[in-house]
């Protein structure tokens, strides 16, 4: 039996173009290195009309470092100071963004960009996903 915990992470998206790219390619280019691994849940966050919100989530399918990417993709990452590409095996987009200020993270002192790449426990991920799902109805 393993003592290994199942952590999830929050990744922020800054622009609408990058949001569209994530959903079109099912890939997130990250400038930070964490314990990204297959089956890690990733909550996607972005500033919306209602403030910082979860806009969807994905489950990691594979992680590629710069040297593993095709040359044109590696160059694109280097231009943007990204260190790896996270490909999602499943990716979901919320119809209604779920405001972080209404989530279990409402009282978290980290706000905005300070939530980027924050590690969450499995219980935190589950609670956020459940509440976000309820928020959709």
Is pLDDT of 22 > 50? yes
Confidence category of residue 6, pLDDT binned at 50, 70, 90: confident
Percent of the chain whose pLDDT exceeds 90: 90
Confidence category of residue 1, pLDDT binned at 50, 70, 90: very low
The residue whose two tokens read 């960009």 is 113
Supply φ then ψ for residue 118, to 5 degrees.
Answer: -70, 135
Q: What's the helix, strand, coil split of the chain in %, to 5?
A: 30, 35, 30
CA gap 85, 29 in Å, rounded: 4
pLDDT (tens digit per residue) in 63-116? 999 999 999 999 999 999 999 999 999 999 999 999 999 999 999 999 888 999
What is the radius of gyration, based on Cα positions, of the chain?
A: 15
Is pLDDT of 125 > 60? yes
Closest CA to 22 of 69, 51, 60: 60
Is pLDDT of 130 > 60? yes
Is pLDDT of 2 > 50? no
Is pLDDT of 3 > 60? no
pLDDT of residue 5: 75
The residue whose two tokens read 């199942």 is 6
Enter the CATH code of domain 8-136: 2.30.130.30
Q: Which residues pair with 30 in a beta bridge?
A: 84
Closest CA to 118 of 2, 35, 55, 16: 35
pLDDT of residue 35: 84
CA gap 6, 74 in Å, rounded: 29
Confidence category of residue 4, pLDDT binned at 50, 70, 90: low
């Amino acid at each position: 039996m393993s003592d290994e915990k199942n952590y999830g992470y929050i990744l922020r998206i800054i622009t609408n173009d990058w949001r569209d790219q994530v959903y079109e390619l099912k890939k997130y280019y990250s400038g930070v290195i964490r314990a990204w691994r297959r089956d890690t849940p990733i909550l996607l966050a972005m500033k919306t009309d209602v403030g910082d919100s979860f806009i969807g989530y994905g489950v990691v399918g594979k992680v590629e470092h710069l040297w593993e990417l095709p040359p044109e993709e590696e160059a694109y990452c280097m231009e943007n100071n990204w260190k790896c590409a996270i490909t999602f095996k499943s990716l979901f987009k919320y119809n209604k963004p779920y405001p972080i200020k209404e989530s279990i993270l409402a009282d978290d002192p980290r706000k905005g960009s300070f939530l980027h790449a924050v590690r969450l426990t499995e219980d935190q991920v589950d609670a956020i996903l459940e509440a976000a799902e309820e928020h959709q109805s």
